[in-house]
Amino acid sequence: MDNWIPFADGEYLVDRACLVSASQTAVALERVVIEVYSDRQGRRQLKGTGRVRNILIVELLEDNDELDLLLDFGEEFKYHLKSPELQAGKVFAPDVKSALQFTPAGPWQQIPQNEFDELFSRLKFLSD
């Protein structure tokens, strides 16, 4: 995973983010922030957090066990993160949102803006 993060160390707000199943069903994440940092060897790493209704993730996982993450930072900065490692709270009440933490399992892929917008328009979002 060397040198695949084009951002300098720091925190970055994400304009739009969602978890997506293979069948293009999705759950929107709120208040997503990623942190880019350098490890001891000087390689850039990232981790992120957002808020989500856990019950919707459970519903999404009924469709497929592997979820991808789409991140839109605005302008041309659109990314696809395949099967990130996810950690979320254990509260499954329909009205409760909790923090979701994610870390990449591999490098992310930048997606051209028109392809990203087309992909986003085809998603079926689960809601409350």
40-63 per-position pLDDT tens digit? 998 999 999 999 998 898 889 887
Number of domains in the chain: 1
Helix (H, G, I), strand (E, B) or coil at 15: coil
Residue ranges for the chain with pLDDT beneath 70: 1-2, 91-93, 128
| Residue 101 structure tokens | 């933490």
- Give a yes or no: residue 39 inside a domain: yes
Confidence (pLDDT) at 19: 96
- Give a yes or no: residue 117 inside a domain: yes
- Give a yes or no: residue 128 inside a domain: no
Domain that holds residue 55: 10-122
pTM, entire model: 0.91
User: What is the end-to-end Cα distance of the chain in Å, rounded?
Assistant: 36
The residue behind tokens 């957002």 is: 50
Confidence (pLDDT) at 91: 67
62-77 per-position pLDDT tens digit? 878 899 999 999 999 9
**Measuring CA to CA, how many Å separate 77 from each of 12, 17, 34, 111, 114?**
12, 12, 13, 8, 12
